Amino acid sequence: MDPINSKNPAALAILNGSAPAQARLAAASGLLPLPQADLLEVLVALRKEVDPAIAEAAAETLQSTDRQDFLAAAKSDETAVSVLAYLATADGDHDIKEAVVLNRNTSDQAIADMASTTVDGALLELIAMNQQRLVRFPKIIDAILANSCRPAEAERRANETRREFFEKERGAQQIAQELRARGKSAAAEFFESADLGDFSVEDAWLIASHIEVSDAEIDDSWLPAERYEELRPESAEELAANFNRILESERLESGDLSAERVSLIKRVMFMNIKDRLKLAMKGDREARSILIRDTNRVVAAAVVNNPRITDQEIENIASMRTVAEDVLRIIAANRAWARSYSIIHNLVRNPRTPIPTVMGILPRIRTKDLTGLNLNRNVSEMVRRQALRLAQARSGH
């Protein structure tokens, strides 16, 4: 759903569906005294009304709108995204369409739709000239090349962009330069020393979108030099096994996974181990949720040392049965996290938490929860017995 642009109270009531049908019909007929920008946004929205009378009235009012009003809207930085999308494929002359193509607020999808439907070769050439947009949204390239009206120049530019950005491996340094030019310094720092291996450019840009921590924010004092020995190269079979294990773990916990989630997990887990370590320390919440299950203990530990990790994430991790014992030990040893009762309660109920760690936490568990722990067959017999002793001691038995 496109964002609402208007701030006009009457227009907002119509756009959010709270206005009565009579008011919506009046607006669709162009009878409400709204500023032109607000009126166009309302009319475009009302074209999709379930009430056919309102939808038809809105369509008719748009058809009768003066060309100059459309041209002004196509050129304005204040025009709603939905209006620009409408102008991209609605009947209109070349000047209006050209203004839509040049308007930086026009959505990539709207440009792809225009590239699919227009018979104006000059517009296709203009669309093909915006290489940044084509790289960001490659469906535009597909649309240009599938349009039988494409001129030779548009075809050449689209093919060149496809070859350069999507069919040819590019170095991490080049990607880092582009990311830095776009102001994405944290992602650029990651790729300046990354080993892309068999990664495509699309893979690299996807990973870049999940990096949020800069080098300046990272404290790697938790990672002594001797632990680097655990970052040995992995075979293709080991990478595949790690990927499959994480897929299975997520499916057990969350049910069916979307194709996008599976694709992200695959891209992350087929990175080499040193790059996974860096991503664990620099990645966003989604990247962290994948790498916390990494079979390499150093990578998993790096996730909980990510400076952006939240208490809610730690609470969830403390209950996971697919994380390394080292991670649970680190959580228990962190004074700030150990002050959270929800976190320590999850730790003592997690059969993966090392028994010595659980024993150190049990005295801080509430009596009623100790009783529940004594009945929990998922934890060890030793933990159950100690929980019972503590509960009885507190009750005087």
In the chain, the number of structural domains is: 4
Say yes or no: 95 and 187 in one domain.
no
pLDDT digits 0-9 by tens, 290-316 = 999 999 999 999 999 999 999 999 999
Query: Is position 384 within any domain?
Result: yes
Say yes or no: 36 and 150 in one domain.
no
Say yes or no: 123 and 83 in one domain.
no
Say yes or no: 222 and 353 in one domain.
no
Query: Is position 189 within any domain?
Result: yes
Say yes or no: 91 and 218 in one domain.
no
State the pLDDT at residue 169. 45
Residue 241 makes CB contacts below 8 A (sequence gap 6+) with 295
Say yes or no: 367 and 353 in one domain.
yes
State the pLDDT at residue 176. 85
Query: Is position 319 within any domain?
Result: no
Query: Is position 315 within any domain?
Result: no
Q: What is the dihedral of CA 199, 302, 274, 183, to 10 degrees?
A: 50
Residue 65 CB neighbour total at 10 angstroms: 15
Say yes or no: 193 and 75 in one domain.
no
Is pTM beyond 0.75? Reply is: no
Say yes or no: 299 and 174 in one domain.
yes
Say yes or no: 210 and 241 in one domain.
yes
Which two tokens mark 249? 């773990």
The residues facing 1 across adjacent strands are none
State the pLDDT at residue 227. 75
Say yes or no: 295 and 203 in one domain.
yes
Q: If 0-12 CB within 10 Å is exposed, 13-18 middle and 19+ buried, where does residue 224 land? A: exposed
Q: Is 283 helix (H, G, I), strand (E, B) or coil?
A: strand
State the pLDDT at residue 170. 56
How far is residue 250's CA from residue 247's CA, in Å, rounded to a whole number?
A: 5
Side chain identity at residue 133, one-letter code:
R
List, for the chain, all residue ranges whose pLDDT scores fall below the cut of 70: 1, 167-171, 198, 226, 397
Which two tokens mark 394? 């507190």
Say yes or no: 359 and 239 in one domain.
no
How far is residue 162's CA from residue 185's CA, in Å, rounded to a whole number?
A: 25
- Supply the angle between the helices 36-46 and 81-89 in degrees, to the nearest 10: 70
CB of 49 closer than 8 Å to CB of 28: yes
Query: Is position 314 within any domain?
Result: no
How far is residue 141's CA from residue 108's CA, in Å, rounded to a whole number?
A: 11
Say yes or no: 294 and 203 in one domain.
yes
Query: Is position 194 within any domain?
Result: yes
In which domain, by residue range, is 161 found?
A: 107-168
